[in-house]
Structure 1
């Protein structure tokens, strides 16, 4: 049995960045659940399908796997490497939409649980500690204020040369939180046994140190 670390929290809290750093420092496998949902979102975005009934029926046609090549994660959708397509705002919104659908979640959770049984893993998402890995060895709930999260995203997009409005990004983040926290199946919430970390005033290094300290105390 592997050691599993679950990191949950709202959009833009820095979960993926932190989880990747933790995995690298501890030599664990990073399972990017968000990327898997984004790949599913991309699948339906490309088909221009938003109808829940159709998504329920067709989600099994999206074969999504994660591979590692030279230490880099590759997300494969039906044989195609989609790393370059899944990080758009559109794919993110569609991922949030499809993530509410039970059939989609069942399909992806199966793969995620299988990985955690055979390897030491760090997994981040919205419902890892509450639903995907309820028996994870260490659970973290990572959050930050909506404004802080919007500001981080704004800077990221500016660095990529994209034009964007901070206010609009913050509105989208608040709407995404609302959607994620109120979905019927496996909503975003802090697991009872999760350690709360608010990263609003912390650097990435400080958050990583905190989590590695918590991991060391579990040994």
Structure 2
């Protein structure tokens, strides 16, 4: 397998990883890989199949056998498209609040993490990649030539997520979003 230059961007939820990664990919004419979207896709599958990721981790792990999840070069040749079983993954499906509410539970399942690791590492053969997510520089791409850790204050992260998700339409407050981010950090910290 040919391996190209890799740039790893790590950091907590809503810290700005995606913004930085997208900007770098555009500037360097590389491919942006959002590993969070991969986990969101599995969370979406859990919702569709009515699997409770928090209480049924083995069912989540078993579901992986029927899934083919991978990034592929899009038709325009300029960006990557996440595909599940040959179909494009739609952002409106994986960015729903219901998905956000369970994605940390999905991501902490060891079988899911091992399954994802292989697929994330497969992206190395696609060209210059800028990959963002959790544990990218230490676990997924430890050999990355460049590694960055992006962070922000808890309040700024809550503001970013609040603005990003349009929570005002759903009736959530900035304080609720801040509590959700704190809970996500609590769930994510042991992994």
State the match for 2:68 in structure 1: 63
**CA-to-aligned-CA distance 1:128-183 (integer Å, 9 cap, x gap):** 0111111111111111111111112222334884432111100000010111112x
The reply to whether residue 78 of structure 1 matches residue 80 of structure 2 is no
Equivalent positions of 1:184-199 (< 5 A) are: 187=191
- The one of 106, 110, 122 aligned to 1:114: 122
TM-score, normalised to structure 1, is 0.77
Structure number with the bigger relative contact order (C-alpha 8 A, sep ≥ 6) is 2
Aligned length: 183
Structure 2 unaligned blocks of 5 or more:
none
The equivalences for 1:122-133 within 5 A come to 122-133=130-141
Say which SS state the counterpart of residue 85 (structure 1) adopts: helix
**Which residue is equivalent to 1:176?**
184
1:91 match: 99
TM-score normalised by structure 2 residue count = 0.87
| 1:118 CA drift (Å) | 5.0
When residues 95 and 69 of structure 1 are mapped into structure 2, their CA distance, relative to the original with a 3 A threshold, is farther
101-110 or 168-177, which deviates more: 101-110
- Over aligned residue pairs, what C-alpha RMSD do you find? 1.9
**Uncovered stretches (5+) of structure 1, i.e. residues with no partner:** 188-219
SS of the aligned residue for 1:143 comes to coil
In the other structure, the counterpart of 2:158 is 150
* C-alpha distance in structure 1 between counterparts of 2:126 and 2:179, whole Å: 40
